[in-house]
Amino acid sequence: MSKLVEEFNEYRTKMNEVILSKDNLVMKRLWNLDTNTYEEGALDKKTKEMLGLVASMVLRCDDCIKYHLGKNHELGVTTKEVYEIFAVANIVGGTIVVPHTRRAAEYWEALEENGSAK
Amino acid sequence: MSKLVEEFNEYRTKMNEVILSKDNLVMKRLWNLDTNTYEEGALDKKTKEMLGLVASMVLRCDDCIKYHLGKNHELGVTTKEVYEIFAVANIVGGTIVVPHTRRAAEYWEALEENGSAK
Amino acid sequence: MSKLVEEFNEYRTKMNEVILSKDNLVMKRLWNLDTNTYEEGALDKKTKEMLGLVASMVLRCDDCIKYHLGKNHELGVTTKEVYEIFAVANIVGGTIVVPHTRRAAEYWEALEENGSAK
Amino acid sequence: MSKLVEEFNEYRTKMNEVILSKDNLVMKRLWNLDTNTYEEGALDKKTKEMLGLVASMVLRCDDCIKYHLGKNHELGVTTKEVYEIFAVANIVGGTIVVPHTRRAAEYWEALEENGSAK
Amino acid sequence: MSKLVEEFNEYRTKMNEVILSKDNLVMKRLWNLDTNTYEEGALDKKTKEMLGLVASMVLRCDDCIKYHLGKNHELGVTTKEVYEIFAVANIVGGTIVVPHTRRAAEYWEALEENGSAK
Amino acid sequence: MSKLVEEFNEYRTKMNEVILSKDNLVMKRLWNLDTNTYEEGALDKKTKEMLGLVASMVLRCDDCIKYHLGKNHELGVTTKEVYEIFAVANIVGGTIVVPHTRRAAEYWEALEENGSAK
C-alpha cells in the first residue's frame, strides 16, 4: 500500500482515538452525525461523497480532501470524474485551490496504484 | 414570478453588462470558462450543478447559492435532494453556514412557487 | 423593542421553521447539538457564548454575531467586555473584521436600548 | 453625490464614532496602524491602495472594497486599471468573487459619476 | 521537552527575528499590539487566551493554534476545558476543523507531557 | 540553488504534469488564463505580481505565496517593498497571516541567497 495513504490513515486513526478518549460528548456526536450525513438518502452515497470532496477542496482542507478522495475511490468514481470535480473546485474557488489540487492529484495516483496492486 | 428571484436576476444581468462593457479579456474568458465547467462531461449537468451549489454554500456566497439553486431547480433537483446538499454544507462548513441556509431555503421556496405558478 | 433586534429574530424564527418542516434529520440533529455545545460544562455558559461570539466575528458571519451578541447580553456580558472580544477578533482576523464590528456595535447598542427600556 | 457613496460614508462615520467612544485602546491603535499602513513608503500610496483593494476583494469584504475603491479613485487609478485588479482578484479567488465584483463595479460607476459631477 | 513544542518555538523565534531585522514599522507595531490584546483588562488573561484559541481554530491556523494552546496551558486551562473550546470550534466551523483539532490534540498531549516532566 | 526553492519548483512541475496529462480542458484553460492575468496591461507586470502576492497572503496559501515571491524577486521587487506588501497583508488579514509571513520571509531569504550566489 502506498506510504502516502497509509501514513494519512495511521495518523488519523491514532489522533481520533486520543480525541475520543477525552469523552467530549459534542465531539462524539458531531462525528456520528458526520457519518450519517454521507449515508444513502434522496441522494446516493457516491453523489454525497463527491459533494464532500468539492466542499473540502474549495475550503482548502488537505486532510478532508484525502479522506473524501479515499471514499470516492472506494465508490468507483473514475479519474475523469474526479478531475471534473477538481475543475469545479478550481473555478469556484480560484487558483488558490491549485496547490491543493496538486496534492489531491498525488493522493489520487497513490489510491490508483494501491487499487491496481491489490 | 417571485420578486426575490426577479430582483436577483435583474441586478445580476444589469451589472454583468456593466462589467462586460469594460472589455477586460480575463473577466470575459473566465466567464466563458465558468459556463463550460458545468456542461455535460464525465459527470452530468445535474451532478455538476449540485457540486456548484455545495461549494457556494460552504464558501458562504449568497448570490452564488441563488444562482446554483436556480440551476438545480431547472434541472429537476427535488426539495429532499436540495436539503441533503444543505446538510452536507452545514456539516462540512459548520453552523456559520446556517444563516446562508436560511436565505437559501427562502430562495428555494420562491423558486418552487414560481414553478407551480407557471 | 428595537426594530433591528426584532427583525433579526422574526426572520430567523420564520426560516428555521421552513427548514425544520422539511424533516432533514442531519439538519435537526446539528441544531440540537449546537444547543448542547453552549450548555454549562467545564466552562460556564458565559465563557462559551463569548467563544461563540469571537468565532463568529473572525468568520465574519453577521447573523451568527447578532445571535451570540444577544446571548452575551442576556448573560450579563458588559460593554467593556464585549469590546475586548471585538478587539481580539480584529487583531486575529484583521481589518476585514472592521465592517462586521460596525454592524456588531450597532446591534449591541440596540440590545442595550431594549434592556434599559424594559 | 451618488447616494451609494454617501450612504456608505455616513454609516461608516457614524458607527466608527460609536466604536471609538467606548475607548478600547486596541481598536484605536489598530485603526491608527491601519492608516499608517497605506502611507507613502518604499511603495507609493497608489500601489498600496491597489494592494488593499485586491486583498479586500479576495477576502470578499464589500465594505472594505468600497473603502479602497474610494481611495483608488481619489489617487487617479483608471477604470482600465481597476478592472485589471478585479481580474487578478477573480482569478486568484475564483467565481465566488464575481458577486462582489458586481457590487464593486456598481460602486465604481457611482464614484465616476460623482467625479464628473464635481 | 517534547520535540513538537521545541521545534515550533525554535522556528517561530528564528523567523520572528528575521522579520524584525527588516525594520518594517507596521509589522513591529502590529506585534506589540497583538501582545497588548491578550493582557488583563475587563476580561482576564485566561479568557482572552481561550478566545484567541477558538478564533485560531475556526480560522484553521495550525501555528496560531499551537501558540495559543501553549498560553492556555501556562494559564492552567484544563484538558476538559480545552476540549470544550475544541467542541465550540468544530460546531461553529464544521468538520473542516477536525484535522486541525487532531494536530491540536497532539500538541496538547506534548504540552501535558512536558508539564509533568518538569 | 537553495533547497527550499528547488524543492518547491520540482514538486510543482511534477504534479502540474500529472494534472495536465489527464486532459481536463477546464483546468488547462484556467491555467492559460492565469498566465494571461499577470501579463503587461494597463498595469505593469511588477504591480500585478505584487497584487498576486498580497492576495495569496491574505488567503493564506503558502504555495501561492512562494510562487509569487519568486516572480516578485525576478521582477526586481526589493526587500523593503516586499515587507510593505507583507505589512498590508498582515493588517488586512490579521495575525493569522503571521505564520504565513514567517514562511514567506524564509523563502524570500532563500531567493536572495540564490540571487547573490549566481
Determine the Cα angle at E69 with ends E66 and E74, to 5°. Answer: 130
Q: From the candidates A91, A95, A100, A101, which should be mutated to test the interface with D, based on the most D CB atoms within 10 A? A: A95
Which of F44, F78, A38, D34 minimizes the C-alpha distance to E30? D34
CATH assignment of C1-12+43-118, among 1.20.1290.10, 3.40.1280.10, 2.60.40.1250, 3.40.50.720: 1.20.1290.10
CB distance D106 to F69 below 8 Å: no
Residue B116 C-alpha, separation from nearest chain F C-alpha, in angstroms: 36
Contact flag A95-D92 (C-beta cutoff 8 Å): yes
Determine the Cα angle at A85 with ends A84 and A86, to 5°. Answer: 90
Looking at the partner chain, which of E27, E59, E61 has a beta carbon nearest the beta carbon of F90? E27
| Nearest-Cα residue of chain F relative to residue E55 | F96
Is the pLDDT at B102 greater than 80, yes or no? yes
Looking at the partner chain, which of A25, A26, A37 has a beta carbon nearest the beta carbon of C26? A37
pLDDT in tens, C69-113: 999 999 999 999 999 999 999 999 999 999 999 999 999 999 999
What integer pLDDT is reported at residue F6 of this predicted model?
A: 96
Contacts of C18 (CB under 8 A, 6+ apart): B102, B105, B106, B109
Contact flag F22-A103 (C-beta cutoff 8 Å): no
Confidence band (pLDDT; 50, 70, 90) for E20?
A: very high
Contact flag E56-F96 (C-beta cutoff 8 Å): yes
Residue C92 C-alpha, separation from nearest chain F C-alpha, in angstroms: 5
Kindly state whether B85 is in contact with chain A, defined as any CB-CB distance less than 8 angstroms.
yes
Contact flag A87-F63 (C-beta cutoff 8 Å): no
Looking at the partner chain, which of A25, A26, A36 has a beta carbon nearest the beta carbon of C26? A36
pLDDT in tens, D42-88: 999 999 999 999 999 999 999 999 999 999 999 999 999 999 999 99
pLDDT in tens, A28-40: 999 999 999 999 9
Contacts of E79 (CB under 8 A, 6+ apart): A22, E108, E112
pLDDT in tens, B56-78: 999 999 999 999 999 999 999 99
Burial class from Cβ neighbours inside 10 Å (0-12, 13-18, 19+) for residue F83 reads buried
Is the pLDDT at C115 greater than 90, yes or no? no
CA F64 to chain centre: 5
Comparison of pLDDT for C1 and F61, the residue scoring more: F61
Residues of C in contact with B84 (CB under 8 A): 24, 26
Which of E116, D85, E118, E110 minimizes the C-alpha distance to A15? E110
- Distance between CA atoms of E39 and E50, rounded to whole angstroms? 13
- Distance between CA atoms of B117 and F13, rounded to whole angstroms? 54
| Nearest-Cα residue of chain F relative to residue B39 | F26
Residue A9 C-alpha, separation from nearest chain C C-alpha, in angstroms: 26
- Distance between CA atoms of A111 and A105, rounded to whole angstroms? 10
Residues of E in contact with C60 (CB under 8 A): none
- Distance between CA atoms of F78 and F101, rounded to whole angstroms? 16
| Nearest-Cα residue of chain E relative to residue A12 | E102
Contacts of F54 (CB under 8 A, 6+ apart): D51, D54, D55, F85, F88, F89, F92
Residues of B in contact with C16 (CB under 8 A): 102
Scanning chain A, the segments in alpha helix (DSSP H) are: 3-21, 25-37, 45-58, 62-74, 79-93, 98-117
Kindly state whether A29 is in contact with chain C, defined as any CB-CB distance less than 8 angstroms.
yes
Is the pLDDT at D26 greater than 60, yes or no? yes
Residues of A in contact with D91 (CB under 8 A): 94-95
pLDDT in tens, F88-100: 999 999 999 999 9
pLDDT in tens, A95-117: 999 999 999 999 999 999 987 65
CB distance F104 to E17 below 8 Å: no
CB distance B96 to E92 below 8 Å: yes
Is the pLDDT at B20 greater than 70, yes or no? yes
Question: In the 3-class helix/strand/coil scheme, how is chain B assigned residue by residue?
Answer: CCHHHHHHHHHHHHHHHHHHHCCCHHHHHHHHHHHHHCCCCCCCHHHHHHHHHHHHHHCCCHHHHHHHHHHHHHCCCCHHHHHHHHHHHHHHHCHHHHHHHHHHHHHHHHHHHHHHHC
Residues of F in contact with B36 (CB under 8 A): 25-26, 29
CB atoms within 10 A of CB A109: 15
pLDDT in tens, F47-89: 999 999 999 999 999 999 999 999 999 999 999 999 999 999 9
What integer pLDDT is reported at residue E118 of this predicted model?
A: 52
Where exactly are the structural domains of chain F? Answer: 1-12+43-118
Percent of chain F with pLDDT over 70: 97
Contacts of A14 (CB under 8 A, 6+ apart): none
Looking at the partner chain, which of E12, E15, E34 has a beta carbon nearest the beta carbon of F95? E34
Contacts of A74 (CB under 8 A, 6+ apart): none
pLDDT in tens, E30-56: 999 999 999 999 999 999 999 999 999
Contacts of D23 (CB under 8 A, 6+ apart): none
Percent of chain E with pLDDT over 70: 97
Round the average pLDDT of chain A to a whole number and report it.
Answer: 96
Confirm whether pTM is higher than 0.95: yes
What integer pLDDT is reported at residue E115 of this predicted model?
A: 79
Contact flag C91-F94 (C-beta cutoff 8 Å): yes
Determine the Cα angle at E48 with ends A18 and D15, to 5°. Answer: 130
Length of chain A: 118
CB distance E58 to E104 below 8 Å: no
Distances from the Cα of A53 to the Cα of B34, B51, F22, F52, F88, angstroms: 19, 9, 18, 27, 33
Give the cell for residue C111. 440590545
Kindly state whether A72 is in contact with chain B, defined as any CB-CB distance less than 8 angstroms.
no
Kindly state whether F103 is in contact with chain E, defined as any CB-CB distance less than 8 angstroms.
yes
| Nearest-Cα residue of chain D relative to residue E34 | D26
Burial class from Cβ neighbours inside 10 Å (0-12, 13-18, 19+) for residue C7 reads exposed
CB atoms within 10 A of CB F93: 27
| Nearest-Cα residue of chain A relative to residue C34 | A26
Q: For residue F95, what is the DSSP state? A: G
* Encoded amino acid at B79, one letter: T
What integer pLDDT is reported at residue B115 of this predicted model?
A: 79
Confidence band (pLDDT; 50, 70, 90) for D2?
A: confident
Question: In the 3-class helix/strand/coil scheme, how is F69-88 assigned residue by residue?
Answer: HHHHHHCCCCHHHHHHHHHH
Residues of F in contact with E22 (CB under 8 A): 79-80, 83, 105
Residue at grid coordinates 475520543: A20
- Distance between CA atoms of B8 and B110, rounded to whole angstroms? 12
CB atoms within 10 A of CB F46: 17
Is the pLDDT at E103 greater than 70, yes or no? yes
Sign for the CA dihedral angle at C55, C58, C61, C66 comes to: positive
pLDDT in tens, C5-24: 999 999 999 999 999 999 99
Confidence band (pLDDT; 50, 70, 90) for B1?
A: low
List chains touching A (3+ CB pairs under 8 A): B, C, D, E, F
Residues of D in contact with B59 (CB under 8 A): 96
Is the pLDDT at A78 greater than 70, yes or no? yes
SS3 content of chain C, % helix, strand, coil (to 5): 80, 0, 20
Percent of chain E with pLDDT over 90: 94
Residue A11 C-alpha, separation from nearest chain E C-alpha, in angstroms: 9
Contact flag F106-E15 (C-beta cutoff 8 Å): yes
CB distance A69 to B107 below 8 Å: no
